[in-house]
Homo-oligomer: A and B are copies of this chain.
Amino acid sequence: MHIDRGDTAHHDDTSRLEAFSDGVFAIAITLLVLEIGVPHVAGDESLTHALLHLWPSYFGYAVSFITIGVMWINHHEMFKDIERTDHTLSALNLVLLLGIAFLPFPTAVVAQYMTNDAHRLEATLTYSLTFTMIALAFIALWLYAIRHPDLLDEHVSQARLRSRTRRYAPGTFLYGVTIPLAFISPFISLGLIAAYALFYLLPLADE
């Protein structure tokens, strides 16, 4: 049943692919909270102390949440110019979603081990690597699309396509660079990944 390939030779419109992707983005973003376990308060510790001790979980939750949110916005933007899908585009989109839906795991790894001197570097690399892979899947999707003009909205100008490419391409570099930087200091890598998310939220550039 499922190794059905030939039928997608004609080009479908992207509405259901987008709806399915929206679902995966929305669920992955909401599952992040499950990573934060209710703390067991030991002896005469205060609950506040135990809750504050979970700060790496809040950090991971917030950074991954905003990053997935921004990725969703970008995915949504990109599909304004992509009007049809073929087999390869669907497959590339599935690989992108595989990465997005995986994010709760490295988020939990980084939350649990970023305060552990012995494991911080490896936890950070897990996080950086996942984001870099997602960025690669994202740009691969876009590059495939613009090389197949029959998939694009015919009214889109070349200038607009180039502008998108210029804006999407740096993502791989921005996340990729956090991999070697982690060997200098994991905090720099985590700080950069958080800064990317925060930068998006800042309204300054708009005003």
Contacts and interface: CB of A to CB of B under 8 A. Distances in A.
A109 B36 CA distance: 11
B4 A101 contact: no
A163 B8 CA distance: 13
Query: Majority SS of interface residues in chain A?
Result: helix
Interface in A123-153: 123, 126, 135, 138-139
A71 B2 contact: yes
A194 interface: no
Given A31-B33, A94-B201, A201-B94, A2 B70 contact: yes
29 contacts: A1-B139, A2-B67, A4-B73, A4-B167, A8-B73, A19-B19, A19-B22, A20-B25, A23-B27, A26-B27, A27-B30, A28-B33, A30-B31, A32-B101, A33-B103, A34-B104, A38-B109, A41-B119, A44-B118, A46-B119, A46-B122, A47-B113, A47-B126, A51-B109, A51-B122, A65-B94, A69-B97, A94-B201, A95-B201
